[in-house]
Amino acid sequence: MASKAIMANNEDRPDKKFVGGVVGQWGEFTRFLSDVRAEMRKVVAPGRKEVQSTTTVVIIAVFIFGLFFLVTDSIFSSGMNWLLHRMGGQ
């Protein structure tokens, strides 16, 4: 009975909880690194042809979006200028 009380007191000590927490954290960290290594083994680098095609798509998309925002900005700019002139602005 007394030995159970001593064991219970030792388990409630903050240093025991800290050490157990650190060991648990270390186990989780090593498991995470193991999972990262397993996933990195599955990674395949793209070939030259794939890189060229995706780069072309990105460049074309940038020009299309640039043109879209140019037109949108021009429309809003002219609209704001018209509105300010109608309200007595310069």
CA-to-CA separations, 88 to 6, 61, 82, in angstroms, rounded: 88, 40, 10
* Furthest C-alpha separation in the chain: 93
The residues spanned by each domain of the chain are 1-43, 46-90
Annotate 67-82 with DSSP letters as a single string: HHHHHHHHHHHHHHHH
- pTM value > 0.95: no
Structure confidence by residue, pLDDT tens digits, 4-14? 555 555 555 55
What span, in angstroms and rounded, lies between the C-alpha atoms of 34 and 23?
17
**Using an 8 Å Cβ cutoff, are 90 and 84 in contact?**
yes
Structure confidence by residue, pLDDT tens digits, 39-59? 999 999 999 999 999 999 999
